[in-house]
Amino acid sequence: MQIDKIETQDMERTFKEALKHRRSYYSIGNQSPVSDKEIEEIVKYAVTHVPSAFNSQSTRVIILLGENHKKLWSIVKETLRKIIPATAFSATEAKIDSFAAGYASLLYFEDQAAVESLQKAFPLYADNFPIWSQQTSGMHQLAVWTMLEDVGLGATIQHYNPLIDDEVHSTWNIPATWKLIAQMPMGTPTAEPEEKTFQPLDERVKVFK
């Protein structure tokens, strides 16, 4: 399935409905309803079309499949095992194992070389470029997350950085300028997501006419 088919396969689902339907799935299996190529197409589509400040295009994504996916969560587990007391580690281990049980993982990075280049080119905005870089990453994460859910993959966003940064960089020979921002395990959902609650909108949105 090509990416344009992803856009039109369910004509009844609007962008608003897709956002509403996106959830955090913590119980995932090691199957995928779509091919590895289709996962790659989703990621590339987002990286191509999601906006970035000053068109910096600073977001980088690594797709981990098969044993590489499992290796990531082994790194996370062994890193945390060294710093969490053994008596308290079982809950952490169970959580990490639930991510490892999935099908694949995405690693989101921001290339600091791109950020620093803009800081030098536009010194008046220098302090803002790292903030805008984080915003760019967040938009990429949401876009990919929503499209993955739309094809039947459950996912979550995790943040074990910076604890795992050094080993992740060395394991996959990642450029030193790529700063790890988030990890996204995914797989076929094996349980319903937790109920989502909402704070009052009148406390979160203000309208002035």
Altogether, the residues listed in the chain come to a count of 209
Say what the pLDDT of residue 12 is: 56
CA separation for the pair 151, 75 (Å, rounded): 29
Say what the pLDDT of residue 82 is: 96
Nearest partner of 33 among 186, 198, 139, judged by Cα: 186
CATH of the domain spanning 3-192: 3.40.109.10
Say what the pLDDT of residue 84 is: 96
Say what the pLDDT of residue 194 is: 87
Using CB atoms within 10 Å of the CB of residue 128, give its burial: 0 to 12 exposed, 13 to 18 middle, 19+ buried. middle
Q: Are strands 104-111 and 178-189 parallel, antiparallel or unpaired?
A: antiparallel
Say what the pLDDT of residue 3 is: 45
Bridge partners of 155? 24, 186
Say what the pLDDT of residue 131 is: 98
Say what the pLDDT of residue 7 is: 46
CA separation for the pair 202, 165 (Å, rounded): 40
C-beta separation of 66 from 60 below 8 A: no
Residues of the chain with pLDDT under 50: 1-11
Q: What is the pTM of this model?
A: 0.92
